[in-house]
Every structure is written in structure tokens, then in C-alpha cells.
Amino acid sequence: MSPVLNLPLARKVLRALHTHPHLHNATLWRSEHDGETAHNIAGWAVTLAGAEWIGTGELVRYRDRTRSVPMLARELLGLAHAQARQLFYHCNEEQGVRLLADLIAHGTRVQRAQLEALHIQLCPIR
């Protein structure tokens, strides 16, 4: 079974990227710039989910476990392996925003269709 996109977290990340485009650095999980912290999409996802950064590398603490940023971000966002690789490693800032927006749009359509099918199944017309 394929993962289900975590729409609330994905939308938070996209909102952060639109609100603070100067803090989007597609090449680094996290970097400090003039007192502000920039992230790539995976870095934004773990940060917005409440992970605590450990040093300046790619490790964070989340729910009392040390995790790598890309693995945790993939799990938190509910991305398939290929989607995560594309989004975290093979996109510049503009491409990453566009791909994340496309994933959100697709995930919204899929989840809406699933909810409608479930509604029909549970609440048949009499």
C-alpha cells in the first residue's frame, strides 16, 4: 500500500516556503543566515513537526528518538521513496515548491475521492 500524504503538514511546509522564500535552501537541511534559519523541504517538515535539531548535521530528536532528517521527513509527510528523493535531493527551490504544490493537489483529489467512496459505502441512499 502506498503512503498517504500528510496534507496538514505538507500545507504547513508549503505555506512556510511561500511566506519565507528567502529561508528556502534546497541544498541544505538547515543553515543559519543573518540570525534566521533556512531549510530545504525536508528540514522544514521536521522543524514544523516539532523535531529538535542536534548540532548542524542531518540528525534531529523526535519523540525521544534520534532520526535522520530525510527519513523522518519522508515518514512525516507520507511520501513514497521516489517522491522523497525527487523532492529532497533533485529539485532547486522553484522546482521543489512546484512539486510540493502538485503533490498536495494530487493528494487532496485522491483523499477526497476516498472519503466520497467511504461516505457512499457507509451512508447508502435509501
- Quick: pLDDT tens for 35-92: 999 999 999 999 999 999 998 789 999 999 999 999 999 999 999 999 999 999 999 9
Q: What is the pLDDT of residue 118?
A: 85
Query: How many C-beta atoms lie closer than 10 Å to residue 47's C-beta?
Result: 21
Distance CA 24, CA 40 (A): 6
pTM of the predicted model as reported, rounded to 2 decimal places: 0.88
113: left (phi over 0), alpha (psi -120 to 50) or beta: alpha
Tell me the residue type at 63. R
User: Angle 70-74-75 (CA atoms, 0-180°, nearest 5)?
Assistant: 120
Q: What angle do helix axes 7-19 and 69-77 make, rounded to 10 degrees? A: 120
> What percent of the chain has a predicted confidence (pLDDT) above 90?
78
Q: Is 17 exposed, middle or buried (0-12, 13-18, 19+ CB in 10 A)?
A: buried
Residues 6+ apart with CB under 8 A from 28: 38, 39, 40, 43
